[in-house]
A and B are shown apart, each in its own frame.
Chain A
Amino acid sequence: MKLAELAAPRQDYSYGFLDAFAKRELRRRMLKAIAIPGYQVTYASRELPIARGWGTGGLQVTLSLAGPDDVLKVIDQGADDSVNAANLRRFIARMTGVATTTDACRATIIQSRHRVPEERLRERQALVLQVPDPEPLRHVEPNMSRAREMHADADYALMWLSLYEQLVRFKQFIGGASYPVMVHQRYLMSPSPIPRWDTPTLHQAPHLTLLSAGREKRLYAVPPYTDVYPIEFADVHFRVESQADRVCANTGAAHKYMDEVPQPDGTSLFRLSDTGYAEKLIKRLRGETVKIGPTYYDSNGEFYKPGYLKSRDGQDIEL
């Protein structure tokens, strides 16, 4: 008998591309991140066949989470069909044998860059967000050692000072995407560059959110049913981007997050940013039967947790 006959048949790659040790390390780091909501856990970010900064963090998490029974959806800024999303989806499917979908309700793992689906996610779903910069304090404290001390002390005064400055100078909060949130009343967290529109969806969500930055080698998590509150003043509240008066040119949907499409005549059209959701709406318009889940914002733009968003319209700030 020869050694070659006893050995397992040769494979080109390990299951899920990463070797067993890498996957085990990532899973352990994820467990730690889930145990300490919002806390940034370091990990040894592995080399992958895509460049750092193109979703390697999210990709490593997805590869170590996925099993053959999983159903995968990959989103890039709401779109399922962008080059980046398509490449990641093909790579993950090839390495793990998962089924792929564009339907947020059907997916068990959703890897996303900068968007959360419009339809409400459920229990036993995992949302993996790609993070370019995990440190929410970077703007106020460039020294990262000091920033880590501030996290340890829960000393986030400088964030509220920057809010104060924004109100004094601009009479409103000017934070756009990646609006900092307090997780579980303890850690300040950058929710990755999702628009403010998506930030409230993380609060007391039934699904697990994993956020991973491959270049910065840090991952953190929002476990299911965890408090997530955007930073705000007691009397001046966080607001989401107004989508009022915007109607999707393809589906007629309103009060959802829209992409603006400039037209040659100088006007703009609006289109649903979430293409998976748009696809379902179009199918329904054609008369096909599709199951569309409840959305985070209803057709009047009300968030599904009443009272969570304290202000919808602009406030007048008295200086």
Chain B
Amino acid sequence: MAATMFDAPRLVITRPLLQARGLVKRYGRLTAVDGVDVTVYPGEMLGIVGESGSGKSTVLRLLNLEEATDGGEYYLDLPEYDGVNLFDLDRYHRREVRINQIGIVYQNPHLGLRMRTTSSGNVAERLIMAGERTFATLRRTARESLAVSEFPLDRMDDLPIRLSGGMQQRVQLAKAIALKPAALLLDEPTTGLDVSVQALVLDTLIRLRRELRIATVIVSHDLGVIRTLADRVMVMRRGCVVEQGLTDQVLDDPQHPYTQQLVHAKL
């Protein structure tokens, strides 16, 4: 009996680039993240929304391998890390993964940038950490990366502390994508920027998502940002995922009472 062969849908053929299962993080008696699964495909952007203290940023810190987990597995679909649970790596290899495969943009630029080092130096730091020791290459790559994130190049040797908030975010972004990582983590990248600058940064992010086929996770409490950028969205509350699905579906037809409240609370 010959079975009829169909091509599987693209999402079924493509393996998820970033896959985390059963993330748990406790701070003393408080459980900040309680069994969260995150799956992101190449070129896809996953939005995480939720109120303050719902565990969104903690999930991002776990994905950035910044903190030790209390449970869960984390895989990146890359040849060198095939079947390796990244949470099991030692400090040295964790650092390698963080440098080469994960880029992050924090809400607070002070967390992501050295304020007393030039902007180009902040971007070059990534390359230096990965072992680049040629000044001309560092310079060229920093310039390219800053140009991609639409940073004004005549200010590339200014200290970040002298830059505006939007420009600081662009430096962070340039630093995050300097090594063409597999995963890009954005923690409220546009919060605190005024609306016109926010729109410009969003434009940059949309263009980058199109150009670089990387897995992106964006955390925001601004549903407008999520609707503009994210393909899929995950709604978190008290450390758990209460609802997830395609962005339009979740935001237009919320099923969970909390999501309904969140969507309607928009001014």
A306-319 vs B, CB cutoff 8 Å, 1 = contact: the mask equals: 00000000000111
Whole-angstrom distance between the Cβ of A173 and the nearest chain B Cβ = 11
Whole-angstrom distance between the Cβ of A41 and the nearest chain B Cβ = 22
Complex interface residues of chain A between 219 and 252 (CB less than 8 A to chain B) = 233-236
A152-182 vs B, CB cutoff 8 Å, 1 = contact: the mask equals: 0101011011001101110000000000000
Main secondary structure of the interface of A (DSSP, over half): helix
Q: How far is B136's CA from A236's CA once the two chains are assembled, in angstroms?
A: 9
User: A157 touching B125 by the CB < 8 A rule?
Assistant: yes
User: A153 touching B128 by the CB < 8 A rule?
Assistant: no
User: A161 touching B117 by the CB < 8 A rule?
Assistant: yes
Whole-angstrom distance between the Cβ of B125 and the nearest chain A Cβ = 5
B102-117 vs A, CB cutoff 8 Å, 1 = contact: the mask equals: 0000000000000001
User: A168-B118, A168-B120, A168-B157 in contact; A153/B125 too (CB < 8 A)?
Assistant: no
Chain A residues near B91 (CB-CB < 8 A): 153
User: A157 touching B128 by the CB < 8 A rule?
Assistant: yes
User: B157 touching A319 by the CB < 8 A rule?
Assistant: yes
Main secondary structure of the interface of B (DSSP, over half): helix
User: A153 touching B92 by the CB < 8 A rule?
Assistant: yes
User: A168 touching B121 by the CB < 8 A rule?
Assistant: yes
User: B129 touching A157 by the CB < 8 A rule?
Assistant: yes
User: B134 touching A155 by the CB < 8 A rule?
Assistant: no
Closest to B130 in A: A157
User: B129 touching A234 by the CB < 8 A rule?
Assistant: no
Chain B residues near A153 (CB-CB < 8 A): 91-92, 95
Chain A residues near B117 (CB-CB < 8 A): 161, 165
Q: How far is B139's CA from A165's CA once the two chains are assembled, in angstroms?
A: 11
Complex interface residues of chain B between 56 and 100 (CB less than 8 A to chain A) = 91-92, 95
Chain B residues near A161 (CB-CB < 8 A): 117, 121, 124-125, 128
Q: How far is B91's CA from A15's CA once the two chains are assembled, in angstroms?
A: 47
Whole-angstrom distance between the Cβ of A316 and the nearest chain B Cβ = 12
Chain B residues near A157 (CB-CB < 8 A): 125, 128-129
Closest to A236 in B: B135
Q: How far is B129's CA from A158's CA once the two chains are assembled, in angstroms?
A: 8
Chain A residues near B139 (CB-CB < 8 A): 318-319
Complex interface residues of chain A between 141 and 156 (CB less than 8 A to chain B) = 153, 155
Closest to A167 in B: B135
Q: How far is B92's CA from A160's CA once the two chains are assembled, in angstroms?
A: 19
Q: How far is B33's CA from A29's CA once the two chains are assembled, in angstroms?
A: 48
Closest to A161 in B: B125
Chain B residues near A234 (CB-CB < 8 A): 133-135
Complex interface residues of chain B between 10 and 56 (CB less than 8 A to chain A) = none
Please, could you name 26 A-B residue pairs with CB atoms under 8 Å apart, sorted by A?
Answer: A153-B91, A153-B95, A155-B95, A155-B129, A157-B128, A157-B129, A158-B125, A161-B117, A161-B125, A161-B128, A164-B124, A164-B128, A164-B135, A165-B118, A165-B121, A167-B135, A168-B121, A233-B134, A233-B138, A234-B134, A235-B135, A235-B136, A236-B135, A318-B139, A319-B139, A319-B157
